[in-house]
C-alpha cells in the first residue's frame, strides 16, 4: 500500500537507503536531517511516499523545482533489494506522477549517475527521456544524467 511517509518510518527509511542504494554514513546523516526538516513542516510542498507491505519496502521523495511553475524533481526512489523486480518501483513512480498531476504539475525530472545502468534503464522503461548529461558533476569521472517526463494525464 502506497501512503504518505510518517515520522515512525524514519528508521526503516534510513535502513532502506543503506540497503537499497548503499548510502554512506554521511549521506544517511544528511537524509536524517532532511527527514527531520520534512516532519517539522519546513519543506512546504515537498512530499515523501512509502510502500508499506507489513514493513517499509519502497520510498520516494519529491520536491518542486525552485522558481518554476509546475516542474518537480524526484530526488529519492528506493526499493528494498528483496522486492526489486516485482513492479514496486514502477508503481511508486506512477503514484508520484499521479500525485503531481493532481497538483497541477506538468514536468518531472529525475537525475542519476551515469554509472547506474540499471537505474537508467528503469527510467527509460517508465517513459522518461534522457534530457542531459553533465560530465564530471559528482566528481571527476562521475557524470550526472537527467531524465524528464511530461505529466499529461
Question: Could you give the percent of the chain with pLDDT greater than 70?
Answer: 99
DSSP 109-153: EEEEETT-HHHHHHHHHTT-EEEEEEEEEEETTEEEEEEEEE---
Cβ distance 114 to 145 under 8 Å? yes
What pLDDT does residue 93 have? 97
Q: Give the residue from 139, 116, 21 showing the smallest Cα distance to 147.
A: 116
* Per-residue model confidence as pLDDT tens digits over 138-150: 999 999 999 999 9
Domain edges within the chain: 2-150
Of the pLDDT bands very low, low, confident and very high (cuts 50, 70, 90), residue 23 is: very high
Q: Which fold has domain 2-150?
A: Aminopeptidase (3.40.630)
pLDDT in tens, 26-82: 999 999 999 999 999 877 789 999 999 889 999 999 999 999 999 999 999 999 999
Tens-place pLDDT, residues 33-49:
999 999 998 777 899 99
Amino acid at each position: 500500500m502506497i501512503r504518505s511517509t510518517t515520522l515512525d518510518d524514519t528508521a526503516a527509511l534510513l535502513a532502506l537507503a543503506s540497503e537499497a542504494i548503499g548510502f554512506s554514513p554521511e549521506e544517511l546523516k544528511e537524509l536524517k536531517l532532511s527527514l527531520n526538516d520534512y516532519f517539522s513542516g519546513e519543506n512546504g510542498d515537498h512530499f515523501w511516499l512509502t510502500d508499506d507491505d507489513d514493513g517499509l519496502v519502497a520510498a520516494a521523495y519529491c520536491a518542486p523545482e525552485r522558481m518554476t511553475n509546475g516542474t518537480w524533481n524526484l530526488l529519492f526512489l528506493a526499493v528494498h533489494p528483496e522486492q526489486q523486480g516485482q513492479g514496486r518501483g514502477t508503481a511508486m513512480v506512477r503514484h508520484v506522477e499521479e500525485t503531481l498531476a493532481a497538483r497541477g504539475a506538468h514536468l518531472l525530472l529525475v537525475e542519476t549517475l551515469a554509472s547506474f545502468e540499471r537505474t537508467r534503464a528503469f527510467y527509460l522503461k517508465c517513459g522518461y527521456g534522457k534530457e542531459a548529461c553533465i560530465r564530471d558533476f559528482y566528481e571527476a569521472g562521475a557524470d550526472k544524467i537527467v531524465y524528464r517526463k511530461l505529466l499529461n494525464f
